[in-house]
Amino acid sequence: MTVPDRGDSRSVAVVTGGNRGIGAEVARQLAEHGYTVVLGSRDLAQGEQAAARLDASRQQVLACQLDVDDPASVTAMASWIGRNLGRADALVNNAAIDYDTDAYAVSADLGRVQRALDTNLLGAWRTVQALLPLLRRSPHPRIVNVSSGGGSIARMTGGTPGYSVSKAALNALTRLLAGELRGDRVLVNAVCPGWTDTDMGQGGRPVAAGAASVTWAVLLGDDGPTGGFFRDGKPVPW
Ligand code: NAP
């Protein structure tokens, strides 16, 4: 990846799983708001294609290989950003797998549950840890964990066990990080995009609307909330 020499100091946002779905649209919206966006993609070629589609100038959306399950890939991404951009101001933990509508907690394949936890919880956690040194140096740092109403313990009634438990755990991580990073001025929130028409959420609302729910939490002012769970800018029950 060639980094454009713009000689400016735009804020940098990292979006995991940015090659398609909500992540790609969040990348587009953040670029529109003036961010330099690092578009993380497991498959670099797909990431490059998405970046070209979102930003024909190739100045503002930069693809980076990123598999959040792979510690070496996450470390390499953080080093690459440190070396080439020198800053990270926002992290959107968007990458996730396996909306397991065919499964139930009473009979779930625990290997499958473990894979969901690996990506949806530990992948996000690992990416936060890798980028924290840069985020802590940002004047307006933001972490957005893309969660789901499926992770709301208050609303669980059974079904989608791996996905729901992984998102509930991501919500718990959001609370812990928000508390621990308050002193560093990092606003950390969980956001549900709502049922959105992607490969994962076929038939839902337009991708732009789901993504806007997420982008909102990146664009918060310094007096914005931290440690909350939101959809479309409004609180969702934990
Ligand atoms: P999607 O269309 O299935 O896209 C998922 C993205 O995550 C893809 O870019 C995928 O990359 C990436 N990904 C998966 N595993 C990864 C890994 N190990 N490392 C890096 N990237 C990985 O899903 P979506 O609907 O856009 O969902 C985005 C977020 O919104 C997720 O957190 C999801 O749980 C949440 N959400 C969605 C809905 C909905 O209705 N769509 C509702 C509530 C919450 P590949 O292309 O390489 O597979």
Q: Say yes or no: CB of residue 162 within 6 Å of ligand 1.
A: no
The C-alpha atoms of residue 50 and residue 40 are separated, in whole angstroms, by: 10
Coil, strand, or helix at residue 158? Answer: coil
Q: Return d(Cα 5, Cα 91) in angstroms, integer.
A: 22
**H or E segment and range at residue 214:** helix 207-218
Closest CA to 23 of 54, 57, 69: 54
Cα gap 25→9, rounded to integer Å: 23
Q: How far apart are the first and last CA of the chain?
A: 40
Q: pTM for this one?
A: 0.97
pLDDT at 221: 97
Backbone conformation region of residue 47, classed left if phi is above 0, alpha if psi is from -120 to 50, else beta: alpha
- Residue 89 CB–ligand 1 contact under 6 Å: no
Distance (Å) from CA 95 to ligand 1 centroid? 4
Give yes or no for a contact between 112 and 99, defined as CB atoms under 8 angstroms apart.
no
Angle between helices 124-137 and 71-84 (to 10 degrees): 20
CATH class as words, domain 12-235? alpha beta
Residue 196 β-bridge partners? 205
Nearest CA to ligand 1 atom 42: 195
* Residue 80 tokens, joined: 């690459």
DSSP code at position 154? G
pLDDT tens-digit profile, the chain (238 residues) = 444 444 456 999 999 999 999 999 999 999 999 999 999 999 999 999 999 999 988 889 999 999 999 999 999 999 999 999 999 999 999 999 999 999 999 999 999 999 999 999 999 999 999 999 999 999 999 999 999 999 999 999 999 999 999 999 999 999 999 999 999 999 999 999 999 999 999 999 999 999 999 999 999 999 999 999 999 999 999 9
Task: Write out the DSSP string of 6-59.
Answer: ------EEEETTTTSHHHHHHHHHHHHTT-EEEEEESSHHHHHHHHHHH-TTSS
What is the distance in A from the centroid of ligand 1 to the CA of 16? 9
- Residue minimizing CA distance to atom 11 of ligand 1: 17
CA of 94, closest atom in ligand 1 = 32
* Predicted local distance difference test score (pLDDT) of residue 58: 81
Q: In angstroms, rounded to a whole number, what is the distance separating the alpha carbons of residues 101 and 123?
A: 22
Q: To test ligand 1's pocket by mutation, which of 14, 15, 22 has the most ligand atoms within 8 angstroms of CB?
A: 22
Instruction: Determine whether the shortest distance from the Cβ of 164 to ligand 1 is under 6 A.
Output: no
Question: Ligand 1 center to residue 140 CA distance, Å?
Answer: 26
Q: Ligand 1 centroid vs 19 CA: distance in angstroms?
A: 9
Beta-carbon neighbour count of residue 133 at 10 Å? 11
Position 57 scores a pLDDT of 86
Pocket lining: 193 vs ligand 1, CB cutoff 6 Å: yes
Q: Residue 224 is encoded by which pair of tokens?
A: 């914005």
Q: What is the structure's pLDDT at 222?
A: 97
